[in-house]
Amino acid sequence: MRIYALAVYLFLYLPIGIIALFSFSAGRSASQMQGFSLQWYGKALGNPFVVDALKTSASVAFTSAVLASVFGTMAALALTGMRGRLRVLFDGMIYVAVMIPGIVIGIATLIALVTVFGAVNPWLEPLTGWKLSMGFGSLVGAHVLFTMSLVIILVRARIEGMDRALIEASSDLGAGPIATFSQVTLPMLAPAIFAGFLLSFTFSFDDFIIAFFVAGPQTTLPIYIFSSIRRGVTPEINAIGTMVMAASLAVLIVAQLTLRRGKPDAH
């Protein structure tokens, strides 16, 4: 079993390690190590197309993460008090949203947006002079619908581990629902909400499949990498991929540490 586990980890992570290694090559070959240099990182960060794609990805990811955290927390609180078949239905919808392949979500979102735009634009454009189209808004909307499920799962797990006696004590001491939520419930949920925000940001920032269908004229960093790879892999692409991977791992580690520190004590 140890040999099997080692083989699985090598299969998963060895290609990533090779990409990171070749990103430090001094030559132009993306598959041969020719000396050691950081020049490709400098060229990647100095490429205006890369910078623009990075700004777009960061803006979409941050906006999506904020909205997913707010809506996901609200949904988790609402589902906590729900019982019966309706609760089972919503639970199934949440987990299905996580398990469905990204290409299915991307195609479904594209069809839905095109249908809505086709129904709204004929009367919206004559009245306002502008029309709905694919772009920043469609990217944010599609990512929020996908990442909100992650926030709901994390926040609900935190709610189930909360000490309900603290909320009851707050009510017994005369605090209203708003004061109880802002001073007791929200601080206890904060670690899970923050972890959900970080995970949502990472998933949105790294997403290619859904963004490919709904981005319109917008170019995110994964879309730029895909377009560049079609012309051939270069050490600059390896450098971009390595930086994205390092940033994503850092965010995921912070999210995991936040969840661990936010867990209530066993006693």
**Does residue 174 lie within any of the structural domains?**
yes
Q: In terms of residue numbers, what domain contains 216?
A: 2-26+34-262
- Percent of the chain whose pLDDT exceeds 70: 94
Do the domain assignments include residue 235?
yes
Q: Is 157 within the bounds of a domain?
A: yes
In the predicted model, what is the mean pLDDT of residues 93-105?
84
State the angle between helix axes of 48-80 and 39-46 in degrees (0 to 180), rounded to the nearest 10.
80
Residue 262 has pLDDT above 70, yes or no: no
Q: Closest by alpha carbon to 255, among 165, 179, 193? A: 193
Average pLDDT score over residue span 240-255 = 86
Does the residue 20 lie in any domain? Answer: yes
- How far is Cα 26 from Cα 239, in angstroms, rounded to an integer? 12
For the CA atoms of 14, 20, 21, 23, the dihedral, rounded to the nearest 10 degrees, stands at 150
Q: How many CB atoms lie within 10 A of CB 176?
A: 10
**Mean residue pLDDT across the chain:** 84
Residues 200, 154, 92, 184: what is their CA dihedral angle, to the nearest 10 degrees?
-120
Question: Does residue 253 lie within any of the structural domains?
Answer: yes
267 in any annotated domain: no
Percentage above 90 pLDDT, the chain: 18
Which residue reads 């839905």 in tokens? 112
The model's confidence at residue 267, banded by pLDDT at 50, 70 and 90, is very low
- Number of domains composing the chain: 1
Kindly give, in sequence order, each residue whose CB lies less than 8 Å from that of residue 203, ignoring residues fewer than 6 positions away.
143, 146, 147, 150
Residue 266 is predicted with a pLDDT of 42
Asked, for residue 105, whether it belongs to a domain, the answer is yes
Q: Summarize pLDDT for 60-84 with one digit per residue, the tens.
A: 999 999 999 999 999 888 887 777 7
- What the block records as the tokens of 127 is 């009245």
How confident is the model over 150-168, as pLDDT tens digits? 899 889 888 887 777 776 6
194 is a domain residue: yes
Provide the CATH number for the domain around residue 171: 1.10.3720.10
Question: In the structure, how many helices (H) and strands (E) does the chain have?
Answer: 12, 0
* Nearest alpha-carbon partner for 227 in 238, 212, 239: 212
Cα–Cα distance measured from residue 235 to residue 164, given in angstroms and rounded to the nearest whole number: 54
- Would the pLDDT of 200 be above 80? yes
Over residues 200-223, the mean pLDDT reads 90
Residue 26 to residues 18, 45, 236: CA-CA distances in angstroms? Answer: 15, 17, 11
Average pLDDT over residues 222-247: 85
Tell me the mean pLDDT in the region 4-14: 87
What is the reported pTM? 0.83
